[in-house]
């Protein structure tokens, strides 16, 4: 057995141990993968203090051009150590290596370059005002950093979502204290090395490891020196963070859960739609906030689409992440698998017909200790079922028929969430109409997960507060000061 690697905290430019350690298991085979150093309240306080010191020092007086040049150097260093980031991400998540190379690590470097370009090109408003007595006044706004930002990221896309937040925060001149998930500590730690290599000043990027309540997460969100919290993860955790920051009236930016719908009309291109839905249901073993868990299908196409999706699910290959034939990895942990399994059992209790999957696969003794689950499709349930209303966050979807456009829109919008939706039709007039009728933050037509990094990203309802992406991210990470000069 290979000895577990270590994930140390990073505070004020130095790697430091924690009060205690815990082992993070491999999702692939259940063996110890990483020894994580848990940060106590004192270390979290030291990280916030280091971030404040950086803001009060040279980082606080840095220019936009200096910061954007720095972000581009960080991107270069990620690419220079590309294989190390891939290995760290695969070790933590168990994802297929091909997916990590094409998506997670490539996007991490892209995030830094994208936000460097955005900040360099973004200005502030100015107005020349005519007063009633003939005088004039010039009003202009100056963008200032929010301050010390707590960055709390989930385990499903740990490096991608970490850099999605850290890049704009640093571009705007903030200092950050990052709390990665206890399930995925490695790439946040490795990024600390890259930050130092790129010349990021000590204290600008800090990492504290641990859990949520009673650990580093709670200590960070309740710390009086934190000026704002950005978080991606479960809706319940977002609510807890809101309660934690409420006494100090700190701003939050949340991208939370989803119970995303796809609406499939009978005139759609069947092969293209099956391919798109297979990706949106099963990519990353369904552990994507944008994943499709509800598929509403116009009745004349229902049987053919169901058969196509079952066939597509049968072609997925579960296996070791370094095997090029592997398409689908494990769930992140045994704990999460138990949650997903409870919904597989619940679906049957609620009257679902299992078209495919529904259990734990037998992948042989070498992988028996992993967190594997079968890709699963259901029919026979409606919008009253818990498996249709509650986020499962696994490779599952319920297929439900509809008879009219109005019914489809009503069913898709019948949810407490509001993150994403997809519409599949060859009638583009209807595609535009239905996509705009979805009460979500992101709506696709004849595609899924196609992103321009400048476009707004976020949700409504239980799916979050605020928007990220391009200039939309800058609204959270900056505070404008208006200057009025009488002329």
**Residues acting as catalytic residues:** 255, 289
Question: Which tokens is 364 given?
Answer: 């042989």
In angstroms, rounded to a whole number, what is the distance separating the alpha carbons of residues 350 and 95?
A: 31
What backbone torsions phi and psi does residue 459 show, to the nearest 5 degrees? Answer: -140, 180
CB under 8 A, 24+ apart: contacts of 469-476:
470/114, 470/118, 471/118, 471/122, 473/115, 473/118, 473/168, 474/118, 474/119, 474/122, 474/143, 474/168, 474/171, 474/172, 476/146, 476/228, 476/230, 476/251, 476/253
In angstroms, rounded to a whole number, what is the distance separating the alpha carbons of residues 16 and 7?
A: 10
Decide: helix, strand or coil at residue 433.
helix
Cα separations in angstroms, 374 against 252, 316, 331, 345, 459: 36, 10, 10, 13, 29
Helix (H) or strand (E) holding 421: strand 420-424
Q: Which position has the token pair 């270069």?
A: 76
Question: Which tokens is 5 given?
Answer: 């690697």
β-bridge partners, 422: 262, 444
Evaluate whether 192 touches 170 at the Cβ level (below 8 Å).
Answer: no
In angstroms, rounded to a whole number, what is the distance separating the alpha carbons of residues 245 and 222?
A: 6
């Amino acid at each position: 057995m290979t000895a577990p690697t270590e994930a140390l905290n990073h505070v004020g430019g130095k790697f430091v141990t924690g009060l205690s350690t815990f082992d993070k298991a491999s999702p692939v085979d259940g063996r110890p993968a990483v020894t994580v150093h848990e940060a106590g309240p004192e270390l979290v306080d030291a990280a916030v203090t280091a971030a404040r010191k950086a803001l009060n020092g040279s980082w606080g007086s840095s220019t936009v051009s200096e910061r954007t040049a720095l972000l581009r150097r960080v991107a270069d260093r990620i690419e220079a150590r590309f294989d190390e980031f891939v290995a760290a991400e695969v070790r933590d998540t168990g994802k297929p290596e091909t997916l990590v190379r094409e998506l997670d690590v490539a996007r991490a470097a892209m995030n830094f370059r994208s936000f460097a370009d955005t900040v360099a090109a973004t200005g502030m408003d100015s107005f020349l005002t005519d007063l009633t007595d003939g005088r004039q006044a010039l009003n202009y706004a100056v963008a200032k950093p929010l301050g010390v930002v707590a960055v709390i990221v989930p385990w499903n896309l740990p490096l991608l979502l970490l850099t999605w937040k850290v890049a704009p925060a640093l571009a705007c001149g903030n200092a950050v204290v990052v709390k990665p998930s206890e399930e995925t500590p490695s790439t946040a730690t490795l990024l600390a090395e890259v930050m130092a290599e790129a010349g990021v000043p000590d204290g600008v990027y800090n990492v504290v490891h641990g859990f949520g309540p009673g650990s580093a997460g709670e200590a960070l969100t309740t710390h009086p020196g934190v000026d704002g919290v950005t978080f991606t993860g479960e809706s319940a955790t977002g609510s807890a963070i809101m309660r934690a920051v409420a006494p100090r009236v700190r701003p939050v930016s949340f991208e939370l859960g989803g119970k995303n719908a796809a609406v499939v009309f009978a005139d759609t291109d069947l092969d293209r739609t099956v391919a798109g839905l297979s990706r949106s249901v099963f990519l990353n073993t369904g552990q994507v906030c944008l994943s499709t868990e509800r598929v509403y299908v116009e009745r004349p196409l229902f049987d053919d689409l169901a058969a196509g999706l079952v066939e597509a699910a049968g072609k997925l290959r579960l296996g070791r992440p370094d095997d090029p034939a592997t398409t689908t990895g494990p769930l992140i942990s045994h704990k999460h698998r138990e949650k997903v399994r409870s919904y597989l059992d619940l679906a049957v209790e609620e009257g679902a017909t299992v078209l495919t999957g529904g259990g734990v696969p037998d992948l042989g003794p070498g992988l028996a200790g992993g967190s594997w689950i079968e890709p699963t499709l259901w029919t026979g349930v409606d919008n009253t079922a818990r498996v249709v209303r509650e986020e499962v966050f696994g490779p599952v979807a319920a297929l439900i028929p509809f008879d009219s456009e109005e019914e489809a829109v009503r069913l898709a919008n019948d949810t407490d969430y509001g993150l994403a939706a997809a519409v599949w039709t060859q009638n583009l007039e209807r595609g535009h109409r239905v996509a705009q009728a979805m009460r979500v933050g992101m709506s696709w037509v004849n595609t899924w997960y196609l992103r321009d990094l400048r476009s707004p990203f976020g949700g409504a309802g239980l799916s979050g507060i605020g928007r990220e992406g391009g200039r939309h991210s800058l609204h959270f990470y900056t505070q404008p000061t208006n200057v009025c000069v009488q002329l």
